[in-house]
Amino acid sequence: MEHQHDTAKYTCPMHPQIMQDKPGNCPICGMTLVLANTSAKHDNDMHHHHGANPAMGHEGHDHGKMIEDFRKRFYVVLVLTVPIMLLSTMIQHFMGVNWQFTGSQYILFALSTVVFLYGGWPFLKGMVDEAKAKNPGMMFLIGFAIIVAYIYSVAIVFGLQGMDFFWELATLILIMLLGHWIEMKSVAGASKELELLVQLMPADAHMVMPDMVHDVKTDTLKANDIILVKPGEKVAADGVILEGESYLNESMLTGESKPVQKSKGDKVIAGAINGNGSIKVTVTHAAKDSYLSQVVKLVDDAQKSKSKTQLLADRAARWLTIIALISGIATFLYWYLTGQPLAFAMERMVTVIVICCPHALGLAVPLVVAKSTALSAKNGLLIKNRTAFENSRKITTIVFDKTGTLTVGKFEVSKIVSVKPEFTENEIIKLSAALEQNSEHPIATGILQKAKDLSIAIPAITEFNAITGKGVEATVDTKKIMVVSPGYLKEKNLTIPADFAANEIETVVFLIVNNELAGYIALSDEIRPESAGAIETLKQNNIKSILLTGDNNKVAKAVSEKLGMDSFIAEVLPHQKLEKIKDLQSKGEFVAMTGDGVNDAPALAQANVGIAVGSGSDIAAETAGIILVNSNPKDIVNLVLFGKATYRKMIQNLIWATGYNVVALPLAAGVLYKQGILLSPAAGAVLMTVSTIVVAINASMLAVKK
C-alpha cells in the first residue's frame, strides 16, 4: 500500500489520501485541491493508516474535522442571521414594523462582517486556491457572489443610495454552509466502503515465539513469521495454515457468504474472520503486500483514475463555470441598463452565479465512481481500469474459460489405464504425480490427491520442464517421463490405444516413458451449479457466450450443450486464443475474455474487456482490466450487470445536473420577472444544494444485484 507522494503539494480537504503535485479537482468528490501543509509525515501516516488500524487513522479524523468545522460555522452563522434579518430594512418592511434606531445600520454591518469573514471563510479560501490553480469552479463562484453582495451592502451603509442585502448575504452563506455540511456527509458515505475495507485489517497480531505468544503491530509482520489466530479474530496477514483447522468467513473480500473450511496447508487471506477453531499461520506476505492491501490499493487507484464519462463531466463543469460568470455579468448589465435599481441588478447577478455552481455536475461521476469501485471490491470484483469497467456495458460476447470457471475445477481421477504390462495403475499414478507435484493446475491437484488416497510415495524429479499448453516433462530414476495432452500425441504422431475411451466430460492426460506411451489417466470435472443460470442471464441480456478451451472437442461440446452456450472452440493452445479473440472482434463483436491472467495474458490484452478470474492468490494479473476474486461465472454476469447499472447512474446524475441548470439559470436571471416569478439568492442556494444532494443520494443507491 505504498503511495508515491514524495513531491506531493496539493490535497483534498475531504479526502487526504488524494495527493497530487499539480493543482486541480479531487477525483473522488470534485472539491478543489488545496496546498498541502503536510510533508513526508503524511506519507508515513497514510502508510500506517493502511497497514495498522485505520479506524484510528487520520483520514477518518480529517473527514470528521472538516464536517465538524462546517457544522460549527453553520450554527454560529444561524445565531447571527436572526438579528441580521430583524435589523434589515427589507424584512422590517415585509413585517410592517420599524425597528430602526441610531447606529442600527452599523450593528447590522458588524454582524454581517462576522458572518462574511467567519461563515464565508471556506468559500473565500477556496476561491483563492482555485484562482491560484487557474481552475475556477464552485468555490470561485460562491466566493465571487458573496464578495459582490458584501461590498455592495457595505457601500450602502457608508453613503451609496439603495437598499443593502446583508440579510440575503447571511442567508446565502447559511444555506451554503448547511448544503456543504450535508453534502460532505453524503460524499463521505459514498466512499465509506473503501474505509470499511481498510478497517478489515486488525491493528495487532499474536506472534508465536519459541517460548511464548507475543502481541505485535500488524504492520511489523514479515514473511515466515508465525501468528496465532484465535476464534472470532481477524486474520492479520496472508499465509498458510501451519496447525489447526477452522471455518473462515471471507465474505467481505470475496462476496461469498458461506464460511470456507480451512485446514493445514490451506491459504488464508488477511482480513478474513476466523470461526470457532484456533489456527497457527505461517505468514507469506508482509502487511503492505497482503491481498487486502493490494485490494485497497486497486480500489484507491481506480477511484483516482478517470474514465471518458468523467472527463466529459469535468469539461462540462469547467464550461458551466465560465457560463455562470458570463451569464451573471450579462444579467447584471441587462437589468441595470434597462432601468432597474442597482440592488436589483446585483441581486440577479448573485443569484445566477450561485445557482449555476457546477458542484452537482462535478460530483455526478466521482460519487458513482467512489461508490462502485469500493462496492465492487466488497463483492469480489476488483476494478483496475475504469474504462474497462465502464465498457462492460457494451459487451456482446463473453468468452469463457472452462476449467475452474464454468466447472468446479476440482478434478477427480475417474480412470487409470495401463497400455504396457510392466506399468501398474499405481505406477502410472506414481510417475504422473512425480511430475505434477509442484503444479497448482486442477489436473495436477486431482492426480496428487489420488496418489495421497492410495498412500503412494512420490519420487523426486530432475530436469523438470513445462511444455507450454501441452504438458510437463522430467527425469525420474533415469527415465524420461512426460505427462501430456491428447493434442501432443497428435502433434508427435503417437498412436492412441485402440481401446481408448473417455466419456464426454472426462479430461485425459497421457503418460509417456522414454518416448513410449505407458498409459493414461482420465479425470472428470463437475459443472458448477451456478453456470447454467449465469449463461441464461446472459442470454436474457442478449450477450453471447462462447466456450474457449484447450480440452478436446467432445468435452467442450458436452459442456457447451449442457449449459446452452452459443458455441465452443476446443483444443486451442494459449497462443491461438489471441487469434480467436481477433476473429470475433473482426465480426463486430465487443468481446470480454475470461482467463487466469498467465497463459491467457495475450488474449486478455487483446479482448475489449479482459477479466482475470480465480485470482485470489495473484491479483496482480497485469493484462486484465478487471479481476474477479472467485471463479464463479455468476460473478462475471454480476460484473456486466453492475457495469451497466453504474453507467446508468452516471448518466442519470449528468442529466439531472445539466437539466437542473438549464431550467434554473433562466429563472435566476429573471426571465419570468413580469409573471411575478423571481428567485432570491437564498432560494438559488437552496436549489443548488438540493441538486447536489439529489446527485449524492442517487449515487448512494447503487447496489450489486445478486
Cβ neighbours of residue 503 closer than 8 Å, sequence gap 6 or more? 524
Q: Are strands 544-548 and 397-400 parallel, antiparallel or unpaired?
A: parallel
Do residues 553 and 570 make contact, with C-beta atoms less than 8 angstroms apart? yes
C-alpha cell at 224: 515466515
- Measuring CA to CA, how many Å separate 188 from each of 23, 67, 134, 193, 291? 22, 9, 27, 10, 25
Separation CA 12–CA 370 (nearest Å): 14
C-alpha cell at 245: 483447522
Cβ neighbours of residue 644 closer than 8 Å, sequence gap 6 or more? 392, 393
Specify the residue for cell string 435566476.
668
Do residues 494 and 471 make contact, with C-beta atoms less than 8 angstroms apart? no
C-alpha cell at 647: 453507467
Using a 10 angstrom Cβ sphere, with 0-12 exposed, 13-18 middle and 19 or more buried, the burial of residue 463 is exposed
| DSSP conformational letter for 384 | S
- To the nearest 5 percent, what fractions of the chain are helix, strand and coil? 50, 15, 30
Q: Are strands 471-476 and 462-467 parallel, antiparallel or unpaired?
A: antiparallel
| DSSP conformational letter for 119 | I
- Measuring CA to CA, how many Å separate 544 from each of 395, 534, 539, 603, 626? 9, 12, 7, 18, 19
The answer to whether residue 401 is catalytic is yes
Specify the residue for cell string 462576522.
114
Separation CA 45–CA 602 (nearest Å): 39
H, E, C per residue of 540-572: HCCCEEEEECCCCHHHHHHHHHHHCCCEEECCC
| CA neighbor of 383 nearest in space, from 372, 394, 367 | 372
Separation CA 388–CA 625 (nearest Å): 6
Write down the catalytic residue from 300, 401, 551, 635: 401
- Measuring CA to CA, how many Å separate 46 from each of 4, 50, 353? 11, 6, 38
Task: Describe the strand order of the beta sheet including 506-513 as a list of residue ranges.
Answer: 412-418, 516-524, 506-513, 479-484, 471-476, 462-467
Do residues 626 and 619 make contact, with C-beta atoms less than 8 angstroms apart? no
State the Cα torsion 62-68-70-74 to the nearest 10°.
180
What one-character-per-residue DSSP string does 52-70 give? Answer: S-GGGSHHHHHHHHHHHHH
Which residues are marked as active site?
401
